[in-house]
Chains A and B, each alone.
Chain A
Amino acid sequence: QKEVEQDPGPLSVPEGAIVSLNCTYSNSAFQYFMWYRQYSRKGPELLMYTYSSGNKEDGRFTAQVDKSSKYISLFIRDSQPSDSATYLCAIPMNRDDKIIFGKGTRLHILP
């Protein structure tokens, strides 16, 4: 099983819908989780990070961690066409400081 798995999509939703993006991970020792957003022809940019379980909210974005299921989610409320991008989950590997990225989910918000 890969350490981090993410559905590549593409995911197409109408403007204004709630978007749910998800990753699963294999190592229960992971405690820190990040979401990056990557626009076409740009490098990834850090969107949100969470530590341990629970929810973290930042504007229209909510990051959720369910450690019992080893499942992390990013919710986007009131989605906008400008949210169209690839979203990557990322988890630091504590043992050697490497960060493992999911493959990314391509999201299209339809106006």
Chain B
Amino acid sequence: EAGVTQSPTHLIKTRGQQATLRCSPISGHTSVYWYQQALGLGLQFLLWYDEGEERNRGNFPPRFSGRQFPNYSSELNVNALELEDSALYLCASSLIRLDGQETQYFGPGTRLLVL
């Protein structure tokens, strides 16, 4: 079974540009989470999509946005890029287990560098 996939693996942009990152969840998973992993800050929750709807967002400005498509794949868009947006962006898809708890499976990430 294929895992979570993300594209591109690396992305280089300049300040003020827009970046689009893509994620395909594991087949059968309907929830997609986006995280930012910046050096020294750990994994920071960005956005959660489920069944095509945004369910929750973390403490990030509105220039971070996204969407989930009918096939449950997802896009993360970052507008007006700033230098501090340079980070590894991780996508995870989730499965609610029989005991009601959730397990998230991560993709390899997109490394965004803003110059």
Q: What are the interface flags for A26-46 relative to B under an 8 Å C-beta threshold, 1 for contact and 0 otherwise?
A: 000000101010000111111
Select the residue from B42, B48, B92, B108 with max chain A CB neighbours within 10 A.
Answer: B42
Q: Per DSSP, are chain B's interface residues mostly helix, strand or loop, or mixed?
A: strand
- Complex contact A44–B56 (CB within 8 A): no
**Least distance between A47 CB and chain B CB atoms (Å):** 11
Is the CB of A88 closer than 8 A to any CB of chain B?
A: yes
Query: How far apart sit A34 and B102, CA to CA, in the bound complex (Å)?
Result: 10
The interface residues of chain A lying within 8 Å CB-to-CB of B58 are: 98
The interface residues of chain A lying within 8 Å CB-to-CB of B102 are: 92, 97, 99
- Complex contact B45–A98 (CB within 8 A): yes
- Complex contact A44–B108 (CB within 8 A): no
The interface residues of chain B lying within 8 Å CB-to-CB of A98 are: 45, 48, 56, 58
Is the CB of B41 closer than 8 A to any CB of chain A?
A: yes
**Least distance between B23 CB and chain A CB atoms (Å):** 11
| Chain A: interface residue total (CB-CB under 8 A) | 24
Q: Given A43-B90, A43-B109, A44-B90: A96 and B45 within 8 A (CB)?
A: no
Is the CB of B25 closer than 8 A to any CB of chain A?
A: no
The interface residues of chain B lying within 8 Å CB-to-CB of A32 are: 101
- Pick the contact of A97 from B40, B48, B109 — CB < 8 Å? B48
**Least distance between A56 CB and chain B CB atoms (Å):** 14
Q: Which residue of B lies closest to A36 (CB)?
A: B106
- Pick the contact of B56 from A34, A46, A96, A100 — CB < 8 Å? A96
The interface residues of chain A lying within 8 Å CB-to-CB of B35 are: 101
Query: How far apart sit A6 and B104, CA to CA, in the bound complex (Å)?
Result: 20
Show 13 A/B contacts (Cβ-Cβ < 8 Å), sorted by A.
A34-B103, A42-B109, A43-B108, A88-B43, A92-B101, A98-B45, A99-B33, A99-B45, A100-B45, A101-B42, A103-B40, A103-B42, A103-B43
A-side interface residues toward B, CB under 8 Å?
Answer: 6, 8, 32, 34, 36, 41-46, 49, 51, 88, 92, 96-104
